[in-house]
Amino acid sequence: MSLSAQLINGLALGAGYAVLAVGWTVLLGAARLVNFSHGQLYMLGAFTTWFVVAKLGLPYLVGIPVALLVCGALGLLMQLAMIRLTLDQKIVNLMVVTLAFGYLLQGGAALLFGGNPQRIDSPFEARSLALGVARFTQQDVLIVVAALVLYAATFHVLGRTGVGRTVRAVAEDPKLAQLYGINAARVYVGVFVFAAATAGLAGAVIAPRSPILTSIGFDEVIITFLVVVLGGIGSILGGLLAGLGLGLFVAVFGAFFPPAYSMAAAFAVLLVILVVRPQGLTAR
DSSP letters, 162-224, are HHHHHHHHHHH-HHHHHHTT--HHHHHHHHHHHHHHHHHHHHHHHGGGS-B-TT-HHHHHHHH
Phi, psi of 235 (to 5 degrees): -90, 115
Q: What is the pLDDT of residue 146?
A: 95
Q: What is the pLDDT of residue 1?
A: 56
Q: Which of 28, 13, 23 is nearest to 232 (CA)?
A: 28
Q: What is the pLDDT of residue 278?
A: 75
Burial of 192 (0-12, 13-18, 19+ CB in 10 A): buried
Tens of pLDDT, residue by residue, the chain (284 residues): 566 778 888 899 999 999 999 999 998 877 777 889 999 999 999 999 999 999 999 999 999 999 999 999 999 999 999 988 888 878 888 889 999 999 999 999 999 998 899 999 999 998 888 776 677 899 999 999 999 999 999 999 988 899 989 998 888 888 888 888 889 999 999 999 999 999 999 999 999 999 999 999 888 888 888 898 888 888 888 899 999 999 998 888 887 888 778 888 888 888 888 888 877 776 55
Q: What is the pLDDT of residue 283?
A: 56
List, in sequence order, every residue forming a beta bridge with 137; answer none if it has no partner. Answer: 128
DSSP letters, 20-60, are HHHHHHHHHHHH----TTHHHHHHHHHHHHHIIIIIS---H
CA distance 95 to 257: 35
Q: What is the pLDDT of residue 226?
A: 87
**CB-based contacts of 39, cutoff 8 Å, min separation 6:** 102, 199, 216, 217, 218, 219, 220, 221, 222, 224
Give me the residue spans of the domains in the chain: 3-216
